[in-house]
Amino acid sequence: MPLALSLAQLNLTIGDLAGNIARMSAAARQAAATGAHIVIFPELSLTGYPPDDLLNEPAFLARLELALAELLDASRATPDLYWVAGAPTRRQGPGKALENSLLVLRNGKIVLQYAKQLLPTYDIFDERRYFEPGTETAAVLEIGGARIGFLVCEDAWNDREQDYPVNPLARLAAEKPDLVITINASPSNIGKREERHALLAAASRRHKLPIVYVNQIGGHDQLIFDGASFAVAPGPGETASVVFEATRFAEEIATLHFAGGKFSDANGKPLAPVPAAGLPAMAFYRRQIVLGLSDYARRCGFEKVVIGSSGGIDSALTLALAAEALGPANVVAITMPSRFSSAGSVDDSATLCDALGIRLFEHPIRDIVAAYEQGFSAAFDEPLKGLALENLQARARGTILMEYSNQFAALLLTTGNKSEISVGYCTLYGDTNGGLGLIGDLYKTEVFALSRHINEAAGRELIPNAIIDKPPSAELAPDQKDTDSLPPYPVLDTILKILIEGERLSAEERDIVKADYARLAETKSGAALIERIRRMIWKNEYKRRQAPPILRLRPRAFGNGRRMPIAAKYE
């Protein structure tokens, strides 16, 4: 008889122990109704991932102990079903007090417990801060006549034996299980799906083992988890391939049948082929941002968002993405012209909001800025001018947006992109105000590309071409253009990708960018520009640190995955 496995790809909330148990219980009942023998939940499914310093809070740890008992009790509702869940569990002895554990539950009892051995401390991960590594052991349990091995996320990622001295997957394979189940909380970024597939397919091929990979889904602060749970199986000869993939960016409970080393559907038929290529880059960015914003707003208790509309490309793209994520009725735009604003900035904002179905308010700042100028001159006996006057305009706008946010309980979205934030082309306490940045991990050239993609997908100009085609400008001074202060964005982005991401770029993008960067560095003016941009990045780290959370899209994002000192000497 085939073994039926339900992959429960759930959108769990960090810290909502009761809510997570309820979601897991509902999924278990659904799995049992399909005749499943096992239901598999993601890593740390009880707490959500990552719980971070909640794990240092005594009150939370006390709640966690009660929740573990409640989870066991919940499993009694499906007495014949094995639950594979993730939870922090207490341990004894020196070291950290907790382990990142995989628990196999059945009818109110823990029938297997395994602690994650490899605790990542790179990029956005800091698990060693909270957990003690598990002992080097293999966890195997016989269910329905099949020997099943269990791992937790990173334990399956060291099969090339390059990052850790221990290889839990090889240790498990030595026990000759029929199938490996790994539970995961693998954050999404461009290229991550393909990386997972390649890594687990290689491991399946090497050890001649079928592997089921269950991942978390949902937005958690800056991180977005795309789900995309999958199964890989060895093929003829020295091959292995992905034979199943769950929906990406959505919850799903999918049941697979396993027998004779192969996966099938409920009728014993082969599963539908899985395409090797994932979403195109712009489609990926769009889906990731939409999920990230919708979950962030929901979890933080916001129904509406507000965005300053300058008539420029960054605010236009942010408005379009927000309208898709939350619905146009829940998005408000405010245009705030100054004496330097072009007529087109207001007109373009109106055209944009009309196309998106968003309400647009106009709140001029001419008189506000004039009053500040007069007050400054009277107090300090010197006229306000230059950069101070430019920044005043941005701060006046930021204050108005925060007033609206406070008055109407709307989450303010900041509109900075990665190119400008990197070099400090933004105003602290002005256009950096906000509770979340949607496009802060997109380079400016990607902002243009994503805007065009949105129009192409809609089959019409949601974002007016007049906005896409106009030269970018902060409009804080007469006839101002971004190129007055910065190199053209294709050049700037080439430099930034090397300086910020470097080897973390995909192989294809890295080859292109390295070639362009090398040509630039060969000239005296190009080398001087590279050095100038490098210093701008260093000098403005303090601004980046104070920016709102930024949704992670790329392998090295502008969030907690980049930790650079502020008060430091850079050579």
Q: Respond yes or no: is residue 426 known to be catalytic.
A: no
Of 116, 444, 497, 543, the catalytic one is 116
Of 43, 99, 132, 475, the catalytic one is 43
Q: Respond yes or no: is residue 300 known to be catalytic.
A: no
Of 127, 153, 324, 541, the catalytic one is 153
Please report, to the nearest 10 degrees, the dihedral formed by the alpha carbons of residues 272, 277, 279, 282 taken in order: -170
Cis ω before 165 (30° cut-off from 0)? no
* 3-state DSSP of 356-409: HCCEEEECCCHHHHHHHHHHHHHHHCCCCCHHHHHHHHHHHHHHHHHHHHHHHC
Q: CA distances (Å), 6 to each of 2, 177, 230, 254, in order?
A: 13, 19, 12, 5
Contact by Cβ (8 Å): 292, 551: yes
Token pair recorded at residue 232: 């890989």
What single DSSP character describes residue 550? B
Stated as kind and residue range, the H or E segment containing 32 is helix 17-33
Q: Respond yes or no: is residue 153 known to be catalytic.
A: yes
Contact by Cβ (8 Å): 240, 204: yes
Helix pair angle (313-326, 343-356), 10° resolution: 20
Q: Look up tokens 């993730």; give the residue.
A: 86
* CB half-sphere exposure, 65, CA atoms < 13 A: 8
Closest CA to 456 of 291, 282, 319: 282
Helix (H, G, I), strand (E, B) or coil at 113: strand
Question: For the sheet containing 146-152, what is the strand order?
Answer: 139-143, 146-152, 179-184, 211-215, 230-234, 240-245
Amino acid identity for residue 3 in this structure = L
What does 208-275 look like in DSSP terms, one character per residue?
Answer: T--EEEEE-EEEETTEEEEB--EEEEE-STT-EEEEEEPPBSS-EEEEEEEETTEEE-TTSPPPPP--
236 φ/ψ angles, rounded to the nearest 5 degrees = -60, 145
Contact by Cβ (8 Å): 83, 41: yes
Token pair recorded at residue 219: 């937005």
* Catalytic residue positions, numbered: 43, 116, 153
